[in-house]
Structure 1
């Protein structure tokens, strides 16, 4: 996909996308020839994907974009909300905005979201975007009180053991890559926080790192591991970055996709089969802190969570407390063995 100039990776949709042109379509077919089978069945439904906005609609969406910027939403939120509202307006392009109602919203979800196989989180984002849009443009007949977000999926985070984390770092031969993975894990960083880290954010004398303008525009301090400091020094004097902690070959911010790529390679070398992302290291950091007896309130502060409920999810994956709970199957076998002392110990691998 990187051979296609317009190709862009979408974090929210977990897919690549390109501008809908005949040239790009031809380039995709040529690029993937003899490599993969291209399913073109959806191309017959291009009216769902191609926008045909009027000049008035474009002007309205541009003003909505500026409205969101004025509300100081993050760039990613602004892009996502504008994208969803633009699709919604385009889907009902033949219906005046003043006549759109809650059934119009339901119809859009049924026809577009299901067709594109959007996730529940994307649908929740769309409803959030629409709630703000009807404040910006109150002339619609959409009832804010009736709009409901689907229940959020409550998936437990994927967590590595401490041995697996060390093995991944050990198998990472490149000095820069090793420093990146060690810092993400030891400080529980989000990948966006890593690439935005500047050298002035390191307070070596206090063994602290300040993370500025994190998620929710919050700053926070985290402690630097003593074992990381020699690696940090070695990396700094070897690569001599100018402004950011890690920089690209031509300077400037490092690519988040590059981090994901070399992490996948390190996991393969470490023979770890489970799916591991930079955020998995953050999840592992929080879980290991909890297992080591650190109070949940401190972990919330270290992770930069706005609500304690977000941090509480790690109480479901910590291994220490779960290991102390005796399984009822073991208890049953122990009772059986205790009652039948004359017999040899009963094992599941034999006949009970």
Structure 2
């Protein structure tokens, strides 16, 4: 049964019954369309309270509940991102009951966000809003998402990988910058040799290394996997002198753990020293994926190595190599008669060169 509207004088009232409990109240409105919204909201809240013993939360209350629920299970970076979203970027959504967050309200909040942030960041903001609302839907707090907002179309920029000819010089520059901080040198090699995320090097442990099988099994991962990764010989040789039975692999010289982002500064210094593009920890992981693909490793195996749930995610990491395109262009030129031919004295000249 839904609510029923009726008039008492000029004022609209509503009545409904939920789980045997009858409720009848005034909307205090003379406009029927507004009274409909008041009655519909009262009915939804009464239904939710009868089902779960709670009212429909505001956006701020929902975020606080998400943070409390996921503090022990979400990664630190993800949890901090949602916390910052709540504290800094709600832009008027904070006090709205989540079932009243309309498409217009979300678009207006995004416009406010775009005043100080890039469009790419705005898409991440929208993704966070969707995550929270969809979480409320899964918990049956609301039946469906109350808004439909599309992501912004972004002009993609060329993404960098570590150029192969610069790899040795880049690593030497990084080692020089890291100095006594062996943990940074090891972490970077784990990233480029195994495709680990920086956070996964931060939690790497010696007991997860199988020296006989020459594999490493990350024990704390983003996707909660625990699959062994083959360890290349050069990485085994580098790690062997520092081998221990147990304990963290990557630590400060004092034995204390590093903080998140601990390799970034050394990488940026190495980039500047050798003239490399803007290689970051994430782009180093993309370098690993791209080199695997260029070496002939099938994409499904690259996906397994990166521990991605979807091959589409893996494809986003692979940068295209134009070498095969360049060879194809030369063959096309030859077929069309634009290639090289022999001149009268036997020297090769271009087809369109003046005689």
TM-score if structure 1 supplies the norm length? 0.67
Does residue 1:129 correspond to 2:136, yes or no?
A: no
Task: State the partner residue of 1:163.
Answer: 165
TM-score if structure 2 supplies the norm length? 0.67
1:84 Cα deviation from its structure 2 partner: 2.7
1:245 Cα deviation from its structure 2 partner: 0.7
Residues 170-208 of structure 1, C-alpha deviations (whole Å, 9 max, x = no match): 332447244333222111111111111011111111111
Distance across 2 between alignment mates of 1:348 and 1:82? 65
Show structure 1 runs of 5+ residues with no match: 1-55
Distance across 2 between alignment mates of 1:307 and 1:163? 31
Residues 267-309 of structure 1, C-alpha deviations (whole Å, 9 max, x = no match): 333x223111122222222222222222222111111111112
Task: State the partner residue of 2:113.
Answer: 112
Task: State the partner residue of 1:257.
Answer: 261
Does residue 1:245 correspond to 2:252, yes or no?
A: no
Task: State the partner residue of 1:180.
Answer: 187
Task: State the partner residue of 2:284.
Answer: 281
Does residue 1:103 correspond to 2:107, yes or no?
A: no
SS at match of 1:220: coil
1:99 Cα deviation from its structure 2 partner: 4.0
Residues 46-105 of structure 1, C-alpha deviations (whole Å, 9 max, x = no match): xxxxxxxxxx986554223224458x4434333323433555656245656664322111
- Structure with the bigger percentage of strand: 2
- For the pair shown, the structure with the greater C-alpha radius of gyration is 2
Q: For the Cα contact (< 8 Å) 1:199–1:244, is it kept in 2?
A: yes
Show structure 2 runs of 5+ residues with no match: 1-57
- Over 3 Å counting, the alpha-carbon distance change for 1:210 and 1:337 in structure 2 is closer
- Structure with the bigger percentage of helix: 1
Residues 190-235 of structure 1, C-alpha deviations (whole Å, 9 max, x = no match): 111111101111111111110123222222221112122232123x
SS at match of 1:116: coil
Distance across 1 between alignment mates of 2:271 and 2:222? 27
- Over 3 Å counting, the alpha-carbon distance change for 1:327 and 1:312 in structure 2 is farther
Larger relative contact order (CA 8 Å, sep ≥ 6)? 1
Task: State the partner residue of 1:268.
Answer: 272
Q: For the Cα contact (< 8 Å) 1:290–1:315, is it kept in 2?
A: yes
- Over 3 Å counting, the alpha-carbon distance change for 1:336 and 1:250 in structure 2 is closer
Distance across 1 between alignment mates of 2:165 and 2:302? 21
Distance across 2 between alignment mates of 1:323 and 1:335? 15
Task: State the partner residue of 2:75.
Answer: 74
Q: For the Cα contact (< 8 Å) 1:85–1:130, is it kept in 2?
A: no
Task: State the partner residue of 1:192.
Answer: 199
Does residue 1:217 correspond to 2:219, yes or no?
A: no
Q: Let me know the Cα RMSD of the aligned residues.
A: 3.7
Task: State the partner residue of 2:151.
Answer: 149
- Over 3 Å counting, the alpha-carbon distance change for 1:227 and 1:140 in structure 2 is closer
- Over 3 Å counting, the alpha-carbon distance change for 1:61 and 1:291 in structure 2 is closer
Distance across 1 between alignment mates of 2:99 and 2:122? 28
